[in-house]
Amino acid sequence: MTLDLRFYLSLILRRLPIIAAIIFTATTAGILYAVSLPPVFRAEARLLIENAQIPDELAASTVRSTADEILLAIRQRIMTRDNLLAIADRHDLFAGATKMTAEQKLVDMVSRVSIYMPNTQGNTGVVTVSFGASEPELSASVTNEIAEQIVQWSTELRTGASASTLDFFTQEVERLTDELGQQNARILEFEQANRDALPESLEFRRTRQAAQQERLLQLDRELAGLRDRRQRLTELYDRTGRVVATADARTPEEERLERARQELASALVVLSPTNPRVRALQNEVSALEEAVKEQRDAIGGGRLTPFQVQMLDIDGQIQFLAEQKAQVEQEVADLERSIQATPGNSIKLAELRSNYETLRVQYEQAVASLSEARMGNRIEATDRGQRITMIEKAVPPAFRAEPNRKRISIAAFGAGVILSGALLFLLEVMNQTIRRPSELAKVIGAPAFGTVGVIEGARPHRSAFSGNLALLAVLLINIPILILVVHIYIMPINSLFGQATQTPDLNEVAAPAASGTTE
C-alpha cells in the first residue's frame, strides 16, 4: 500500500482555516498567559568553599564533617519555618498579602530560595545562592542576607563542633585523673591490708618457712636431749644420792651475776660512774642480785646443792627452748596462712593493677586527644581550617529570570500544532465517506474500472466558506486581544502610533547641520 501524499495534502489545504484558527488561538492564549505572569528577578551570590590553610600533616582540625555535610546542615537551618518567616518580615515580602496564612507564606518562600551546591573537587567548590522577587533590589537584598547566614552558620558550626570536642576531652581527662587516683588508693589500701601475704614476698616467706621448720626440728632435738639429761640425773640422784661433782655448784644466775660484777669493776676503771655503760651494768647487777636472792629464798636461804643447781640449769634451758619453740611454731603458722592467702591476693591485686593499667592507657590517649582538640579548636578559632567565604555579593539583576515568555509562546505554538493535528486525525477517522478508488476497491473487493473527476457543486463552496468564516471569527477575536495585551503590558497604543507617525521637521534637521557647518 503506497502513501497518497497528494490526497493528504489536499486534506490539509481543505482544513487549513481550522488548523490556522487552532494554532492562532493556542499561540494567543500562550502569549496572554506569559504576559500575565508577574516578572521575577533572581539575584545571585557566589560563595567559595576553601580548603584548610594548614596541612593536616602538621596540625589537623577536629571537625571531620565534609563540605557537603556542612552545607546540608546549613541548608536545613536556612529552610526552617522560623528563619524563612523572619526573613520575609524583615524585608516586607508579603506586605500587600494580608490574607495569606503563615503556611502559604512558608511555601512561597521555599519556592523562591535556591541554594545550588555542585559536586566539590577536593572539598573545594562554589555555592550559588539566589532568591526570586518582583523587584531587583529586593532580590539582591534577600540573597545577600541568606549568603551571610551561610557564612555565619558555617563558622558557628565548625567552631561549635571544635569547642564541643575540646570540652569533651577536657572532662574526659579530669574524669580519668580522678579514677586513676581512686584506683591507686585502692591498690595501696589492699597492699597495706595484706602486706604479709603479697606475691612479691612469697619466695622470701617460703624460704623463711623452711628455715623455721628446720629450727623447730632443732629445738625439738634440744628439748628432747635436755629432758633425757634431766631424767638421767634424777635417776642417778635417786640411786646414789649424789651427782657428778662440778667445779662450781653455782646457778646460772649466780654465774651471770659474777660476770656482771667483773664487767662493772672493769668499766669503773676506765669510765666515770655517770657513763651510760656503767649505769647499764649497775642495773643488770641489781636485777641479777634480786634474782639470786629470790632463788635462795625459795630453797630456804641456804646454799644450793649441786643437784639443785643442775636441775635449775636444765629447767631453765628447757623453759627457754619451750618459749623459743612456741614462737617458732607461731611464726610457722603465720607464714603458712600468708602463703595460703597469697594466690587469692595475687588474683585480686592483678585485677586492681589491670584496671589501673587500662585507666592509664585511656588517660594517655585522652591526653593526646586533648592536645589535638586544643590545636583543632585553635585552628577553627583563628579561621585557619576549611571555611566558606563570599567571593561575589548579589547585585540587582538587569533582566528578569522568570517567566521566559519566548519559551512559553513557542510551547503554546507547538501545543496548537499538536491540537490541530489531533483534530485533523480525529475528523478523518470519523469520516466514513468513500473518496478514493482504493477505498472503493476495499469496500467492493474489486478494482475500479475508471474514475470520474470532481464535479463542482454547492457543498464544497459552502464548506470552504464555513472554514473561512471560522478563520475570520478567530482573527476578529484574537487580534483585539493581542492589541489589548500590547496596550497593557508593553506600550500604550497611542504612544506606539504616535512614534510611528511622527516625522522629523526639515527645518529642525537643517538647523543643526547649518550650525555645524558654520562652526
- Residue 450's pLDDT is what? 61
pLDDT digits (tens, 9 = 90+) for 145-181: 999 988 888 888 888 888 888 899 899 999 999 999 9
Which triple of cell numbers denotes residue 60? 589537623
Under 8 Å between Cβ of 45 and 147: yes
Name the one residue in this structure whose C-alpha cell is 556542612. Answer: 70
- Residue 373's pLDDT is what? 86
- Residue 440's pLDDT is what? 61
pLDDT digits (tens, 9 = 90+) for 315-350: 888 888 888 889 989 989 998 998 999 899 899 999
Q: What's 38-175+368-392's CATH class? A: alpha beta
Residues 395 and 306: their CA atoms lie apart, in Å, by 134
Domain positions in the chain = 5-33+403-518, 38-175+368-392, 250-300
Query: What does DSSP say about strands 387-392 and 125-133: parallel, antiparallel, or unpaired?
Result: unpaired
Residues 495 and 482: their CA atoms lie apart, in Å, by 16
Under 8 Å between Cβ of 460 and 467: no
pLDDT digits (tens, 9 = 90+) for 285-299: 888 888 777 776 765
Give the pLDDT band (50/70/90) at residue 29. confident
| Average pLDDT rounded to a whole number, residues 182-211 | 89
Give the pLDDT band (50/70/90) at residue 235. confident
| Average pLDDT rounded to a whole number, residues 39-56 | 79
Most confident of 206-220, 238-252, 459-473: 206-220
Residues 437 and 35: their CA atoms lie apart, in Å, by 51
Residues 308 and 318: their CA atoms lie apart, in Å, by 15
- Residue 40's pLDDT is what? 81
Most confident of 4-13, 182-191, 248-257, 262-271: 182-191
| pLDDT above 80 (res 382) | no
Asked whether the bond before 403 is cis by omega within 30 degrees of 0, the reply is yes
Give the pLDDT band (50/70/90) at residue 515. very low
| pLDDT above 60 (res 511) | no
| pLDDT above 50 (res 513) | no
Under 8 Å between Cβ of 31 and 421: no
Question: What DSSP letter does each residue of 203-246 carry, written as one string?
Answer: HHHHHHHHHHHHHHHHHHHHHHHHHHHHHHHHHHHHHHS-----
- Residue 184's pLDDT is what? 93
- Residue 474's pLDDT is what? 60
Name the one residue in this structure whose C-alpha cell is 468564516. Answer: 469
pLDDT digits (tens, 9 = 90+) for 465-501: 555 565 566 655 666 666 655 555 555 555 555 554 4
| pLDDT above 80 (res 123) | no
Residue 346 host element (H or E): helix 306-381
Give the pLDDT band (50/70/90) at residue 426. confident
Residues 359 and 182: their CA atoms lie apart, in Å, by 11
| pLDDT above 90 (res 271) | no
Greater confidence, 67 or 511? 67
Greater confidence, 247 or 13? 13
